[in-house]
C-alpha cells in the first residue's frame, strides 16, 4: 500500500478543518507544482498557539499533512511551531510517497505565512521567520470566501 495507516486516518478524518473567525494570523499559500492552495488560521495568546485550523484545495496528502501539522503545533510556543518542518510532519505520519513530499511543504509554508501575518499585525519580529514567497498567481482567495 502506498500510504501509511496514519496518512489514511488523517485523510479520512482530518483534524482541525475549518476557520478561526478571530484568528491572530492567517496564511494562504499556493503550490507551484500542482496549483493547490492551503490556508492556515492561528489563534495565538501569550506566545502560545491556542488553536490552529486549515482549509485546503489540495490533495489527500495535503489534507493529511495539514491535519497532522495543526495537531502538532497546538499548545506549542511560536518558536516550537517554527521548528516544525515538513519532514517532522511526514515522520509523524510514518512517511509519504516521494511524489507527495511537495504537498507537505504546502502545510509548512501556510503555517509560516500565518505566523508572518501574526507578526506583521502585532508589529513583532519572530526570530528565524522569513517572509512568505510572493505568488502572483495566488488570486484565488475568493475561493475560500464564497461559502
Residue 103 bears catalytic tag: yes
**Partners of 37 in the β-ladder:** 30, 57
Q: Of the residues 37, 103, 107, 114, which is catalytic?
A: 103
Judged by beta carbon, residue 48 or residue 138, the one nearer ligand FES is 138
DSSP bridge partners of 56: 38
Angle at 51 between CA 64 and CA 12, to 5 degrees: 25
Instruction: Identify which of residues 7 and 49 has a Cβ nearer to ligand FES in the complex.
Output: 7
- The stretch among 30-38, 44-52, 84-92, 110-118 that binds ligand FES (CB under 6 A) is 30-38
What residues from 95 to 124 belong to the interface with ligand FES (CB under 6 A)? 103, 106
Report the residue number, 61 or 126, with the smaller CB distance to ligand FES: 61
Active site residue 59: no
For ligand FES, the binding residues in 51-90 under the rule CB under 6 A are: 58-59, 61-62
Cell (9 digits) for 106: 504546502
Minimal distance in Å, beta carbon 16 to ligand FES? 17
Positive or negative: CA dihedral 38, 69, 15, 45 = negative
Which residue of the set 8, 34, 88, 92 is catalytic? 34
For cell 502506498, the residue is 2
CA proximity to 54, closest of 71, 73, 40: 40
Nearest-Å Rg of the Cα atoms of the chain is 14
Active site residues: 34, 103
Amino acid at each position: 500500500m502506498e500510504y501509511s495507516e496514519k496518512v489514511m486516518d488523517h485523510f479520512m478524518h482530518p483534524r482541525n478543518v475549518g476557520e478561526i473567525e478571530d484568528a491572530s494570523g492567517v496564511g494562504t499559500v499556493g503550490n507551484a507544482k500542482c496549483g493547490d492552495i492551503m490556508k492556515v488560521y492561528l489563534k495565538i495568546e501569550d506566545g502560545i498557539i491556542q488553536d490552529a485550523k486549515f482549509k485546503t484545495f489540495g490533495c489527500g496528502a495535503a489534507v493529511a499533512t495539514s491535519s497532522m501539522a495543526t495537531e502538532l503545533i497546538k499548545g506549542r510556543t511560536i518558536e516550537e511551531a517554527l521548528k516544525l518542518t515538513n519532514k517532522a510532519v511526514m515522520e509523524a505520519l510514518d512517511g509519504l510517497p516521494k511524489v507527495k513530499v511537495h504537498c507537505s511543504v504546502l502545510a509548512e509554508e501556510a503555517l509560516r505565512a500565518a505566523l508572518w501575518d501574526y507578526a506583521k499585525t502585532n508589529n513583532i519580529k519572530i526570530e528565524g521567520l522569513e517572509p512568505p514567497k510572493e505568488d502572483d498567481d495566488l488570486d484565488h482567495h475568493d475561493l475560500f470566501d464564497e461559502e
